[in-house]
Amino acid sequence: MQITQNTAAIVTGAASGLGEATARALAGKGAKVAILDRDAERGEQVASAIGGVFCQTDVTSDDSVAAALEKARAAHGQERICVNCAGIAPASKTVGKDGPHPMALFQQVIDVNLVGTMRVMSRSAAGMAQAEPLDGQGERGIVVNTASVAAYEGQIGQAAYAASKGGIVGLTLPAARDLARTGVRVMAIAPGIFGTPMLRGLPEDVQDSLAQQVPFPVRLGEPEEFGALVCFMAETSYMNGTVIRLDGAIRMGMK
Ligand SMILES: NC(=O)c1ccc[n+]([C@@H]2O[C@H](COP(=O)([O-])OP(=O)(O)OC[C@H]3O[C@@H](n4cnc5c(N)ncnc54)[C@H](O)[C@@H]3O)[C@@H](O)[C@H]2O)c1
């Protein structure tokens, strides 16, 4: 699809990091962008910086997501691009100092990262399916979900996070197949190590040592590179049903 001033987009997790960079990249191409995030203060800031709309959202709640989509669509019309970046990454070992992995924490990570992504994707795609095709091929929209290289090479303490991201990898192809008849594509990006606020908050030497693990370019990924890939996926209609690693060739090992 072409991203134009008539294109409406929604981005979850867009108050920060990769989601924010994606919202900025889409707005830079003229799109009308709705920021869906639970963080109202930063979400409002990003929305006003890009001339978008902020919709306070908890992706773990049906009602919250329904209300957010209603607000976004009232402002911009039916979204044709849905990007899921909302996520959390708490660390906990399968058996830690205090005993077995807390199940409530495991479930919370799955609930936000995996179920939250599915909730927003399916509700968004249901709206896209009712909309007019954008072209002669019947394309109606795209969903881009955020996985992680942890889906393939999770680190110590990442069982819950890696399971949630593995779920996103796993649903990419069947969701694309489910939605094929409606002309809605589904893609996923598996980022390596990106310089988002979370990572930039780490001490310089820790950031450097993470960067040194990347074969080339030897640095953290820039959130703008993620945003650019989302735009490329939207604009390249033959991309569908697959996960693209965006990671400078890193393959996380275990010491
Ligand atoms: N930064 C990296 O190196 C990296 C690597 C691989 C994958 N990822 C994934 O990319 C995505 C974005 O990560 P980031 O680094 O930009 O993180 P971030 O913490 O900067 O941003 C995440 C955003 O999600 C929002 N959020 C969290 N829970 C939510 C909920 N229940 N409802 C609505 N919003 C919620 C937060 O408020 C925040 O604005 C995540 O899914 C993360 O797992 C990041």
CA of 113 to the centre of ligand 1 (A): 9
Our answer to whether residue 161 is catalytic in this structure is yes
> Do 147 and 188 form a contact (C-beta atoms < 8 A)?
yes
CA-nearest residue for atom 1, ligand 1, is 194
Please report the pLDDT score of residue 119 as a whole number. Answer: 99
In sequence order, what DSSP letters do the residues of 141-160 get, joined into one string?
A: EEEEEE--THHHHPPTTBHH
Which parts of the chain sit beneath pLDDT 50?
A: none
- Select from 196, 245, 247, 250 the residue to mutate for testing ligand 1; criterion: most ligand atoms less than 8 Å from CB: 196
Does 15 sit in the ligand 1 pocket, CB within 6 Å?
A: yes
Using alpha carbons, select from 118, 176, 122 the residue that is nearest to residue 147.
118
Please report the pLDDT score of residue 255 as a whole number. Answer: 63
User: CB within 8 A of 178, min separation 6: which ones?
Assistant: none
Minimum-distance ligand 1 atom for the alpha carbon of 60: 31
CA-nearest residue for atom 38, ligand 1, is 13
Work out the number of other CB atoms within 10 angstroms of the CB of residue 157: 16
Residue 146, burial from CB neighbour count under 10 angstroms (0-12, 13-18, 19+): buried
> Do 213 and 161 form a contact (C-beta atoms < 8 A)?
no
Alpha carbons within 13 A on the beta-carbon side of 199: 18
CA of 14 to the centre of ligand 1 (A): 8
Minimum-distance ligand 1 atom for the alpha carbon of 147: 7
Phi-psi region of 7 (alpha: psi -120 to 50; beta: other; left: phi over 0): beta
Domain limits of the chain?
8-245
CA-nearest residue for atom 40, ligand 1, is 87
Does 39 sit in the ligand 1 pocket, CB within 6 Å?
A: yes
Which residue has tokens 């954008």?
134
pTM of the model: 0.98
Question: How far is Cα 249 from Cα 214, in angstroms, rounded to an integer?
Answer: 7
Q: In sequence order, what are the beta bridge partners of 12?
A: 36, 84
Question: How far is Cα 130 from Cα 152, in angstroms, rounded to an integer?
Answer: 35
Please report the pLDDT score of residue 197 as a whole number. Answer: 85
Please report the pLDDT score of residue 202 as a whole number. Answer: 78
* Distance in angstroms between the alpha carbons of the first and the last residue of the chain: 44
Question: How far is Cα 117 from Cα 40, in angstroms, rounded to an integer?
Answer: 19
Please report the pLDDT score of residue 253 as a whole number. Answer: 84
Does 13 sit in the ligand 1 pocket, CB within 6 Å?
A: yes
* CATH 1.10.10.370 for domain 8-245: no
In sequence order, what DSSP letters do the residues of 167-188 get, joined into one string?
A: HHHHHHHHHHHHHGGGTEEEEE
CA-nearest residue for atom 36, ligand 1, is 13
CA-nearest residue for atom 35, ligand 1, is 86
Does 197 sit in the ligand 1 pocket, CB within 6 Å?
A: yes
> Do 25 and 5 form a contact (C-beta atoms < 8 A)?
no
